[in-house]
Amino acid sequence: SQKIEQNSEALNIQEGKTATLTCNYTNYSPAYLQWYRQDPGRGPVFLLLIRENEKEKRKERLKVTFDTTLKQSLFHITASQPADSATYLCALNTGGFKTIFGAGTRLFVKA
């Protein structure tokens, strides 16, 4: 079955450093992949979408890579700030309308 794996352990980094989160998937070839941010008790907020024919995408301090051979996406936040502390979800389109989500990685940025 299709599976998405994100680091279940929280990632703790110092303010100003680059945070790198990993999303691995198996048994599927998604047309695109998305990253969302979720704060406690809130709905996810869309951040970036990257398509299978794109290697990298950037938006302000965010960068996403997509390696369809490794079946992996990396999500980077440069010059991280305490306000970046949240859970980050990886999501794959599985064809048609359906999207499946990873469980997310919790990021803590210390001042």
Partner 1 sequence: GAVVSQHPSRVICKSGTSVKIECRSLDFQATTMFWYRQFPKKSLMLMATSNEGSKATYEQGVEKDKFLINHASLTLSTLTVTSAHPEDSSFYICSGKPLAGGESGTDTQYFGPGTRLTVL
Interface contacts to partner 1, rule CB under 8 A: 4, 32, 34, 36, 41-46, 49, 89, 93, 97-104
Q: Which CB sits closer to partner 1, 85 or 104?
A: 104
Give how far Cα 13 sits from Cα of 17, 48, 55, 95, Å: 7, 22, 26, 35
Q: From the CB of 83, what's the least distance to partner 1, in Å?
A: 18
| Enclosing H/E stretch for 94 | none
Specify burial of residue 80 (Cβ count, 10 A radius: 0-12, 13-18, 19+).
Answer: buried
- The DSSP 8-state label assigned to residue 29 in this structure reads -
Q: From the CB of 16, what's the least distance to partner 1, in Å?
A: 28
Q: Which CB sits closer to partner 1, 1 or 69?
A: 1
Q: From the CB of 78, what's the least distance to partner 1, in Å?
A: 20
